[in-house]
Amino acid sequence: MSTLKKKEYVELLHPLQVQLCEMQRWVQATGQRVVAVFEGRDTAGKGGAINAISQVLNPRGCRVVALPKPTERERTQWYFQRYVEHLPANGEIVLFDRSWYNRGGVEHVMGFCNDSEYKRWLVQTPQFEQMLIDDGILLFKYWFSVDQAQQEERFAERIDDPLKRWKISPIDIAACTKYNDYTIARDEFFKATHRKHTPWFVVDANDQKRARLNMIAHLLEQLPDLKIAPEPLELLPLQRKTLGKDKLGAKAVLVRERY
């Protein structure tokens, strides 16, 4: 299958983003709480998928959560504690860019947690997610999969691109040599946490544009009819004395025009 071109991608994305806006109206009107977890290989395109969703939604009702490494105090807390405070209230959507699955992935593979902590996490994660479901939260878990050769190519691209260089960390560099270890870790926590009420959905992300489209379309398919008409709005004329440029009534420093 050929790589999706940008023009075609934009044309296919637009109607999905319209449906995402309808989804948010439905979430707000019905008081639903939606959580989507984005996990997967480094460079698989989780951030791009999250951005494709969040960029058209009202940020007051849709939050992206990307937590840094835990503080010394957080290390002494119940593992799920710092994630709980970011869960949605009624009418909210939360997109986790990485999540409590850090323990099953990078922490386990890189030795940031001990064996006892890891085994306890494997047992508690399905219990924790069952509590979320029992409380009425709509939980969706997506794993973005990318082949090793494609991953290596994207790492090289990020190193050479000054706009993407920030995406590379020492942990990412170390992960290059642990592709198989991450595969084993993923398979282990899939086995422990893939349940009927909280299944994993795997997204083929070798073509990032197709991955975004497929992921968004799948998410929308999991929800009921989202058709809730927006409230009618009437645009009133601006109140002004004369037509013309916006005149400043207070002292301010204007930005010099350079372009």
Please give the average per-residue pLDDT across 219-234, as a whole number.
82
- For residue 115, CA distances in Å to 10, 107, 121, 182, 215 come to 45, 10, 10, 16, 33
Q: Looking at 107-116, 160-169, 237-246, which range is the least confident one?
A: 237-246
Interval 192-205: pLDDT, tens: 999 999 999 999 99
Q: Which residue has the higher pLDDT, 148 or 227?
A: 148
In the chain, what are the domain boundaries? 6-221
Please give the average per-residue pLDDT across 140-167, as a whole number.
87
| DSSP 8-state secondary structure symbol assigned to residue 43 | T
Yes or no: say if 216 and 20 are a contact pair by the CB < 8 Å rule.
Answer: yes
Please give the average per-residue pLDDT across 145-165, as a whole number.
85
- Name the average pLDDT for the chain: 91
Interval 88-107: pLDDT, tens: 999 999 999 999 999 999 99
Q: Which residue has the higher pLDDT, 30 or 164?
A: 30
pLDDT of residue 150: 87
pLDDT of residue 60: 96
Q: Could you tell me what percent of the chain has a pLDDT over 90?
A: 71
Helix, strand or coil, per DSSP, at residue 143: strand
- φ, ψ for residue 140 (rounded to 5)? -130, 130
How does residue 3 score in pLDDT terms, banded at 50, 70 and 90? Answer: confident
Nearest to 103 by CA among 121, 91, 87: 121
Fold exhibited by the domain 6-221: Rossmann fold (3.40.50)
Helix, strand or coil, per DSSP, at residue 142: strand
pTM (two decimals): 0.88
